[in-house]
Amino acid sequence: MAMAAEGCFPIVRDLTLPHGPSEAVAETVAQLGGLDLLVNAHGTVCRFQAEEFPAAEWERTIATNLSAVFARCQTAGRYFLAHGRGKIVNIASMLSFSGGLNASAYAASKGGIAQLTKALANEWAARGINVNAIATGYFETAMTQPLRGDPVRNQQILDRLPAGRWGRPEELAGALIFLCSPASDYLHGVILPVDSGWLAR
């Protein structure tokens, strides 16, 4: 989704295909006349015990959550480098810090997002590009519905959350606006938790 002054316009591409990310960035530049920000907020999760994890689901998860993010960062990064400025925000996860349960591919991909964010910041900070990430905690989304619908797992999560509740998606907006604004111009390679204090416990 690209943002214009008068609203939004959709760009539909399969980001796991070789030319998907570059086509999406190129069309955004063509529609808007430039590019200032890239937010990588897409993702998927597949839950199996590790010994039963299907190879095809592993490959799909890594391709969607990590490889496609790198491809979009690379394509947008080339544009930003040519113009001397730009901001990239990746969406990481609590599983960037811990292994989770029954989500080995997701954990691997989100651990990769944290390290990719740091690696790109190391290369591009001095060249005018901010690369940071938001590590989301436990939010009320379609992706977390199976966890919220499991009475045991839901209670385990609530017991660890200092606020005692799941987050609402709109509660991510402040961190995202901050990382996209001039207020974060001296932040590079930060993995910012928005997690109700999950990591504090």
Any idea which residues carry the catalytic annotation?
106
Cα–Cα dist 145/139, whole Å: 9
If one counts every other C-beta atom within 10 angstroms of the C-beta of residue 142, the result is 6
Rg (CA), the chain: 17
CB-CB contact of 170 with 112 (8 Å): no
Residue 39 phi, psi dihedral angles, 5° rounding: -115, 115
Residue with tokens 């379609």: 142
Closest CA to 84 of 36, 48, 129: 129
Name the maximum alpha-carbon separation found in the chain. 51
Beta bridge partners of 135: 92, 193
CB-CB contact of 32 with 2 (8 Å): yes
Amino acid found at 125: A
